[in-house]
Amino acid sequence: MKGVLLVNLGSPDSPTAKDVKPYLDEFLMDERVIDVPKILRNILVRGIILQTRPKKSAKAYAKIWWDEGSPLIVLSERFTEKLRQHTKMPVALGMRYGTMTIKNALQELRQKGVDEVLLVPLYPHYAMSSYETVVVKVLEEQQKAFPEMNVTTMPAFYKNPDYIKALSESIKDGLKDFEYDHILFSYHGIPERHIRKSDPTRFHCKIDGSCCKINSVAHNTCYRHQCYDTTELVKAYLGLPEDKVSSSFQSRLAGDPWLKPYTDYEFERLAKEGKKRLAVITPAFVSDCLETLEEIAMEGKEQFEEAGGEHYKHISCLNDSDAWVQVMANWVNQWEESQVLPV
């Protein structure tokens, strides 16, 4: 019997340093997130970052927390529940980090008789720190505890026409009551090194963008290329003016160079260039979360206005919108009927 496993990133159990610490420990000790030798990762994460970050992150989480819990979890649950109404297959939700584990989600499917799983990492773009780590973890858990199950993984859907349509229409809707001077597509950042590591050709990706328009197998795993592709496709779908759209990368950790331009610098640059009315969209995330609700909707607004900007709007992620649920339902049902996956 076939079933669907949705996996998102996960959140701490509560917005307190006590609960944020073990969550961050699991997250940052992931070798695909902080990709240095284990001994160094231990020193960096447990000896340095976890000494101060849980308290700081807990404060940020407290600003966006809902009565029902973490927005990312609640929105993912609502999406899952709606998807269940559109398919005959069992659908389970797991998180890569935290207490809503992938193992439990696989168990839930197994108990319902599922032995053929469609894994859907809830990320439009491929990065070793998001999509890849989900796939590796699911296969690890499946091989350990559920050897009788088969797992098929849905490819990153960053350029899929149905996804682009749903995303573009949601942006159009968000812009209905907002006259903009500029639209910023802000994607979660990753260290530049991760782009080189994920390049199977070992020479294609140059980080500076000179590579991204030359066809290459490297693009199947190039986060930067995929993010810019999403921007271009939405721009084309909505007919947005070339000079009013740009992309940037947010949420960097100190240390290595991360993908540029940095979103916080862009807020300042755009305001100083005289863009008074800025709309920001965050297509690396399908559900609103700490990085969109706090860093972009709250901090970003402040940064833009401090630099001279006047009107600012963050357009929500796709979340549990009917159009997005319908797109996912079509994809999973098509897989159920004919094994076909979206491209």
Ligand X SMILES: C=CC1=C(C)c2cc3[nH]c(cc4nc(cc5[nH]c(cc1n2)c(C)c5CCC(=O)O)C(CCC(=O)O)=C4C)c(C)c3C=C
Binding site for Fe ion (CB under 5 A): 205, 211-212, 225
Shortest Cβ 94–Fe ion spacing (Å): 18
Question: 3-class DSSP state for residue 259?
Answer: coil
Q: Does 195 bind ligand X (CB under 6 A)?
A: no
H or E stretch at 246 = strand 245-250
Q: Take residue 243 and report the two structure tokens written for it.
A: 């000079």
Per-residue mark of binding to ligand X, 264-303 (x: CB under 6 A): --------------------xx---xxx------------
Pairing of strands 2-8, 116-121: parallel
Q: Does 234 bind ligand X (CB under 6 A)?
A: no
Binding-site residues for Fe(2+): 188, 291
Question: 3-class DSSP state for residue 311?
Answer: strand
Q: Which of 5, 7, 33, 318 binds ligand X (CB under 6 A)?
A: 33
Q: Take residue 209 and report the two structure tokens written for it.
A: 């963008």
DSSP state of 280: E
Pick between residue 83 and residue 290 the one whose CB is nearest to ligand X: 290
Residue 117 backbone phi and psi in degrees, to 5: -110, 135
What DSSP string describes 139-161? HHHHHHH-TT-EEEEPPP-TT-H
Neighbours of 67 (CB within 10 A): 5
Q: Are 222 and 234 in contact (CB under 8 A)?
A: no
CA–CA separation, 50 and 61 (whole Å) = 16
211 interface partner picked from ligand X, Fe ion, none, CB below 5 to 8 A per type: Fe ion
- Total residues contacting ligand X by CB under 6 A comes to 22
Q: Does 57 bind ligand X (CB under 6 A)?
A: yes
Burial class (CB in 10 A: 0-12, 13-18, 19+), 210: exposed
Q: Take residue 231 and report the two structure tokens written for it.
A: 């921007």
Shortest Cβ 133–ligand X spacing (Å): 9
Q: Which of 100, 154, 156, 190 binds ligand X (CB under 6 A)?
A: 190
Residue type (1 letter), 119: L
Q: Which stretch binds ligand X (CB under 6 A): 151-159, 176-184, 187-195, 240-248?
A: 187-195
Pick between residue 203 and residue 265 the one whose CB is nearest to Fe ion: 203
212 interface partner picked from ligand X, Fe ion, none, CB below 5 to 8 A per type: Fe ion
Pick between residue 133 and residue 170 the one whose CB is nearest to ligand X: 133
Pick between residue 227 and residue 329 the one whose CB is nearest to Fe ion: 227
| Residue 24: alpha-carbon gap to chain centroid | 17
Q: Alpha carbon of 219 to those of 33, 134, 201, 204: distances in Å?
A: 20, 19, 10, 9
87 interface partner picked from ligand X, Fe ion, none, CB below 5 to 8 A per type: none
Q: Take residue 156 and report the two structure tokens written for it.
A: 């990153």
79 interface partner picked from Fe ion, ligand X, none, CB below 5 to 8 A per type: none
123 interface partner picked from ligand X, Fe ion, none, CB below 5 to 8 A per type: ligand X
Q: Does 11 bind ligand X (CB under 6 A)?
A: yes
Residues 61-90 that bind ligand X (CB under 6 A): 70, 72
H or E stretch at 91 = strand 91-95
| Residue 162: alpha-carbon gap to chain centroid | 18
Q: Does 123 bind ligand X (CB under 6 A)?
A: yes
225 interface partner picked from Fe ion, ligand X, none, CB below 5 to 8 A per type: Fe ion
How open is the CA angle 127-35-60, to the nearest 5 degrees? 70
297 interface partner picked from Fe ion, ligand X, none, CB below 5 to 8 A per type: none
Residues 126-145 that bind ligand X (CB under 6 A): 127, 129-130
Residues that bind ligand X (CB under 6 A): 9, 11, 24, 33, 53, 57, 70, 72, 123, 127, 129-130, 188, 190-191, 251, 253, 284-285, 289-291
